[in-house]
Amino acid sequence: MTDVVIAGIGQTPVGEHWDTSLRELSLHAIEAAIQDSGGIQPQALFVSNLLAPALSGQAHLGTLIADFAGLTAIEAVAIEGAGASGGLALRQAYMMVAAGAADAALVCGVEKLTDKTGSGVEAAISTAVDSDYEAVQGLTPTAQSALLMRRYMHEFDVSHDSFAGFPVVAHANGVSNPNAMFRRAIKAASYQRAGTISGPLNMFDVAPGADGSAALLITRRDLLPSSFSHPLVRVSGSSSVTDTLALHDRSDPLTFQAARLSAERACRQAGILPADIDLFELFDAYSIFAALSLEAAGFAERGQGWKLAQDGALNLDGSLPISTFGGLKARGNPGGATGVYQVVEAVLQLRGQAGDNQVSEAQRALVQSLGGPASSAATHLLERMEA
């Protein structure tokens, strides 16, 4: 089978774009990705988004974005899978191109949280949990993650300060990312003094919601234009897996089963082991998610993921760099666009275009996006190829 490659990438800064509409954000990212690819025109568009119907009053995003980008007469559809939306959209594009159903496909993740303020935003975000049995009781994703962290601390006898390494690493990496929402490093002491959001989670344990758009242009290697000048990055593994939507339906809430299976299947498809990974763009919406994701992907034993954040292993020069451009915590978490940002950042690493954030000799990247507490998991294995 011909290699499926990521030929073009584009992104907008993550932040509060009060004066820029949903469609305009998308257009900026799409134009950048098409230009970066050398002008490849897609036959399909997959738009990943979580909150537009609730916050922007806009559904039918596939057609909206295709129309505004001047891409009419192509196939276009929106993909929603909570925080995993971007990864799921990439999987659809990958499968379409790999199957030969399209020569090129575009993935565009976009989110516009600032179209509404106040409690309406929290209510919209809470639609990602089980409405009948969780949200109706007042449980929000943040409160749910606080319960997970408290259970983890109790079961494995871990102090809250043990999680400080995750936001410290993320904020250190966000300093040199021009598209990051927060570009200031923090120290462990700052983490310890931070105000509580939902005990035991404090403000540095929770990634900030934001506006933003990122895009990917997917094609087959043999269809690249002769003028294509970037190092080649192929999708060598792709998987998505689901678990129960409600956390209380799981026999072990501290095991991200979907994340584990998704990572295993992506690595098996690529024919590699976790030990072969050079960097891991994990889904650090909450510090507890970072620890559980490292365990699920096979980088740490159950109850031991937090230790990796204490010995430098997760730094840019460590054995397993994570959140290399700041992750969700420092770059920001633009909902349905987040998974696409993660892939854009991994591509920059593998191309050797990450600037001050460059991981030395990066050849393979694992990228994982999660919907809820790994109720949905989309994982991709990206590899740099020889020209």
Angle at 343 between CA 342 and CA 347, to 5 degrees: 120
How many other β-carbons are positioned within 10 Å of the β-carbon of residue 318? 15
pLDDT digits (tens, 9 = 90+) for 158-180: 999 999 999 999 999 999 999 99
Mean pLDDT in residue range 126-138: 93
Domains defined for the chain, CATH in brackets: 4-118+209-232 (3.40.47.10), 128-207+235-385 (3.40.47.10)
Task: State the average pLDDT for the chain.
Answer: 97
Q: Is 313 helix (H, G, I), strand (E, B) or coil?
A: coil
**pLDDT exceeds 90 at position 311:** no
For every residue of 150-209, which 3-state class applies, written as one string? HHHHHHHCCCHHHHCHHHHHHHHHHCCCCCCCCCCCCCHHHHHHCCEEECCEECCCECCE
71 contacts 7 by C-beta, under 8 angstroms: no
174 contacts 180 by C-beta, under 8 angstroms: yes
Please report, as a single letter, which amino acid is at residue 348: L
Alpha-carbon distance 294 to 283, whole Å?
A: 10
Alpha-carbon distance 13 to 344, whole Å?
A: 13
Name 41's Cβ contacts closer than 8 Å, sequence gap at least 6: 34, 104
pLDDT digits (tens, 9 = 90+) for 187-198: 999 999 999 999
pLDDT digits (tens, 9 = 90+) for 219-232: 999 999 988 999 99
**pLDDT exceeds 70 at position 1:** no
Specify the DSSP element, H or E, that contains 231.
none
Alpha-carbon distance 314 to 72, whole Å?
A: 44
pLDDT digits (tens, 9 = 90+) for 24-46: 999 999 999 999 999 999 999 99
Beta pairing, strands 279-281 & 44-48? unpaired
Helices then strands (H, E): number in the chain?
11, 11
